Homo-oligomer: A and B are copies of this chain.
Amino acid sequence: MTTHDFDRETAVTPRPGERSAYDAHLPGSWKIGMGINGGLLLSMTARALAAELGGGSDGHPDPLAVSAHYLSTAAAGPATFRTEALRRGRTVSHGAAALLQTDEDGRPVERLRALATYGDLDGQTDDVRTAAEPPRLPPPGECVGTDAAPPEFLAESPMLGRIDLRLDPECVGWLVGTPSGKGEMRGWFRLPENRDPDPLLLLTVVDVLPPVTFDLGIPGWAPTLELTAHVRAKPAPGLLRVVHRTRNFAGGHLEEDAEVWDAEGRLVAQSRQLARVRLRDAVDVDVAVAG
């Protein structure tokens, strides 16, 4: 049996003799800008919560809703997840989780705190009434891969080597100084090792596109303050379509809404995050905008 890079890198290991504690290593390969990708941290958090809430014949293995508040910038290296079951119910269970690292002085520092509602996605009804439509995208071969990013940008964004992302050419004007101003990013996603998507991976996918601020012509990173993801169905094997949109940049903050669609055209995940634009980081991103 092959272990894919994604599963190896996001593994959490129950700590012997200590209940609800999990050892992990935050992978430097998922670094983007100054920190580790927030979606990947969400997937790792969800692994620890699945261990807490998913066991037994009456367990709830699947994340339905995960809300994370990001407290400080996570660094590559050792980390601990601590989980707590808040309520084990008949149809859903609720839990909390914390991601902790040790700072340079040996003190514990919290990276994120999360709340989650878990259930069983296989047990859901088939009744679907949706007004949502998948984004229209050119075929993957006509889209723009992450290898088109300038070398300086790639150098500080190892994460781009861990994903196979093909952006709609209409959304990459910012790469050559002509952002569309629409506040939208969309593209095809898969893992390069061709691992099939599952609910755990969807929690990463909701946060892998470039910030929609780039498409608004606003340079600088947009660190996430809060991100909540809903997993609405188990994804079919194959390519995922992802769209990120913002409607309201104001007061130095913006919301970023993500949708993930599976190969069968079903809306499998939705997320919204509140991000802060840090214009003092603009110099980092000017490289990309001028690229």
- Compute how far the CA of A96 lies from the CA of B96 in the bound complex, rounded to whole angstroms: 10
Q: Oligomeric state, in number of copies?
A: 2
Contact A251 B131 (CB under 8 A): no
Q: Which of A38-46, A110-118, A138-146, A200-208 contacts B (4 or more CB under 8 A)?
A: A110-118
Contact size class for A? 35 or more
Q: For chain A, what secondary structure do more than half of its interface residues adopt (helix, strand, loop), or is it mixed?
A: strand
- CB interface residues, A 224-274, toward B, < 8 Å: 225-226, 228, 230, 232-233, 246-253, 255, 266-267, 270, 272, 274
- The stretch of A13-21, A24-32, A62-70, A160-168 in contact with B is A62-70
Q: Which residues of B contact A71 (CB under 8 A)?
A: 86-87, 94
Contact between B247 and A67, CB atoms less than 8 A apart = no
- The residues of B that contact A287 with a CB separation of less than 8 Å are none
At the interface, yes or no: A121 with Cβ under 8 Å from chain B?
Answer: yes
Q: Are A249 and B130 in contact (CB under 8 A)?
A: yes
Q: How distant is the Cα of A64 from the Cα of B246 in the complex, in angstroms?
A: 17
What are the residues of chain B within 8 A of A91 when measuring CB–CB? 276
Measured CB to CB, the closest approach of chain B to A206, in angstroms, equals: 13
Kindly state the separation between the CA atoms of A87 and B109 in the bound complex, as whole angstroms.
9
List 8 A–B pairs whose Cβ atoms lie within 8 Å, in order of A's numbering: A69-B94, A96-B113, A117-B274, A129-B183, A130-B250, A132-B248, A247-B267, A250-B266
